[in-house]
Amino acid sequence: MEKEMRQQEAIRMMKWIAQYPKIVNRIVNMEQCTTPEECIEVINLLDKHSFEYLVPILLHTVDYDVVMDRVISRLYAEGLATVWEQKGTAHVLDDMKDIIREEIARAELWESARSEKEE
């Protein structure tokens, strides 16, 4: 049943991509320049078509200006404050350290793989 639901969602998404190729380009193309106003339009369109789960991808790939930098910083700070209140200081700090360690390891793996390709 779950596999069938995922398949139906994939089909729905492909139809939406065919209908809105320029919007999809804004979401996934890191070179695409998107203004804050365009971000609002894209978020509204994603929400309207029940693709709100794509908003994080948009926020990750958007070409940032000062406004969008502040948006991301504010979302981060407000989200962190909420998590901090829910989980407490010790848990949040442990999570931060774990994530830092994971990213250090990921960067080392990436650098190692890149070095091997260059050799």
Q: What tokens does 118 get?
A: 């260059």
- The answer on 62 and 25 residing in a single domain is yes
Q: With contact defined as beta carbons under 8 Å apart, do 28 and 57 qualify?
A: yes
pLDDT of the residue at 31? 58
Q: What is the pLDDT of residue 72?
A: 85
Residues 6+ apart with CB under 8 A from 23: 42, 45
What are 99-119's pLDDT values in tens digits? Answer: 999 999 999 988 888 777 776
DSSP 53: G
User: Do 70 and 102 sit in the same domain of this protein?
Assistant: no
Q: CB neighbours (10 Å) of residue 35?
A: 13
Residue 87's pLDDT is 94
Q: For 43-55, what is each residue's pLDDT tens digit?
A: 899 999 999 988 8
Does residue 97 share a domain with residue 54?
no
Say how many domains are in the chain.
Answer: 2
How far is residue 119's CA from residue 114's CA, in Å, rounded to a whole number?
9
Whether residue 5 has pLDDT greater than 70: yes
Is residue 36 within 8 A of residue 68, CB to CB? The reply is: yes
* pLDDT of the residue at 61: 77
pLDDT mean over 8-28: 88
Element (H, E) at 1: none
Query: Do both 12 and 44 map to the same domain?
Result: yes
Domain extent for 23? 2-87
Q: How far is CA 81 from CA 15, 42, 77, 84, in A?
A: 38, 27, 6, 5
Q: How far apart are CA 33 and CA 72, in angstroms?
A: 16
